């Protein structure tokens, strides 16, 4: 079974433009995302899904220079971008990772994939976000290509196209869904990259874990935050999934 991770990324973020090429210790954020995902033991391939906009030429060039397979598609219809990438990759299973997760954890990713594969074909969609109990920035969604294709064919609301999976998890009467829970609810922790404050927080974490000889799993990051509890205040105050909530408020049919 071909399990493909698709990392969606673009340069045109409204709150933090150009965030994917902002550098920490000489490496762009997009590279940190791939470095964190790549050690997964269950992924067959990792693809970058970016847009055809000229502003994203730099991401396509990065992918080319680093041997990363890349598909370029719609800027706003991210569901179409995912579907076309998955189709090109001949994926059986798609793992959704967003480019604003430079602290993504391969162990968490494999946990969600394992749950999907162990119970295959019982579930169409397995995630750790419905509801979330992991830090914001460790989001992982695993979906069958068949379910992704059905969503691509039937989703009509702009929020369902822009955010890829809402049509699936909003319709449990159509899709078989399972959520993975962490032992402790850590959903209040913000490890995602959407603002300058987020970047300041992630900068501190990456500088701290850079010297680790082994892969620093998210438990190690938790230890660091316990050592520096004031760091949590740097980007506190932002709500989880603000982008999705904003798109719902302006949800024309497309």
pLDDT at 252 over 90: no
Hey, what are 156's tokens? 């009509």
Asked if pLDDT for residue 145 goes beyond 70, the answer is yes
Residue indicated by tokens 């579907």: 83
Task: Provide mean pLDDT across the span 75-88.
Answer: 97
Q: Residue 200 phi/psi, 5° resolution?
A: -60, -40
How would you class 213 by CB atoms within 10 Å of its CB: exposed for 0-12, middle for 13-18, buried for 19 or more? exposed
Q: Is the pLDDT of residue 248 over 90?
A: no
The count of other CB atoms within 10 Å of the CB of residue 226 is 9
Alpha carbons within 13 A on the beta-carbon side of 42: 21
Give me the chain's average pLDDT, please: 95
Identify the sign of the CA torsion 163, 99, 52, 81: negative
For the chain, which domains are there? 3-249 (3.90.550.10)
Q: pLDDT per residue over 146-166, tens digit each?
A: 999 999 999 999 999 999 999
> What's the Cα-to-Cα distance from 146 to each of 87, 91, 170, 232, rounded to whole Å?
10, 10, 17, 40
| Angle between helix 196-209 and helix 218-227 axes, rounded to 10 deg | 100
Q: Closest Cα partner for 4 from 87, 106, 79?
A: 87
Q: What pLDDT shows up at residue 25?
A: 98
Give the model's pLDDT for residue 253: 53
Could you read off the pLDDT of 160-208 as tens digits, one per residue? 999 999 999 999 999 999 999 999 999 999 999 999 999 999 999 999 9
- Predicted confidence at residue 239, as pLDDT, reads 74
In this prediction, residues 79-101 reach a mean pLDDT of 98
Confidence of residue 213 (pLDDT cuts 50, 70, 90): very high
In DSSP terms, 106 is beta-bridged to none
């Amino acid at each position: 079974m071909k399990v493909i991770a698709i990392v969606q990324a673009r340069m045109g973020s409204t709150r933090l433009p150009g965030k994917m090429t902002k550098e920490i210790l000489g490496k762009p954020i997009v590279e940190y995302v791939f470095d964190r995902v790549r050690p997964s033991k269950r992924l067959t391939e990792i693809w970058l899904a970016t847009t055809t906009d000229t502003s994203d030429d730099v991401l396509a060039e990065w992918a080319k220079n680093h041997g990363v397979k890349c598909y370029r598609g719609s800027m706003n219809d991210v569901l179409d971008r995912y579907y076309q990438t998955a189709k090109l990759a001949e994926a059986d299973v798609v793992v959704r990772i967003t480019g604003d997760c430079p602290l993504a954890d391969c162990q968490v990713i494999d946990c969600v994939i394992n749950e999907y594969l162990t119970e295959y074909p019982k579930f169409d969609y397995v995630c750790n976000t419905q509801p979330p109990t992991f830090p914001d920035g460790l989001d992982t969604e695993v979906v069958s290509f068949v379910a992704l294709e059905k969503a691509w064919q039937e989703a009509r609301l702009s929020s369902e196209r822009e955010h890829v999976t809402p049509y699936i998890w909003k319709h449990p009467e159509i899709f078989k869904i399972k959520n993975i829970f962490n032992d402790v609810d850590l959903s209040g922790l913000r490890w995602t990259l959407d603002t300058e404050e987020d970047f300041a927080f992630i900068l501190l974490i990456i500088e701290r874990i850079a010297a680790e000889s082994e892969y620093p799993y998210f438990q190690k990051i938790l230890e660091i935050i316990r050592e520096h509890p004031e760091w949590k205040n740097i980007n506190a105050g932002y709500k989880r999934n603000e982008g999705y909530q904003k798109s719902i408020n302006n949800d024309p049919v497309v």
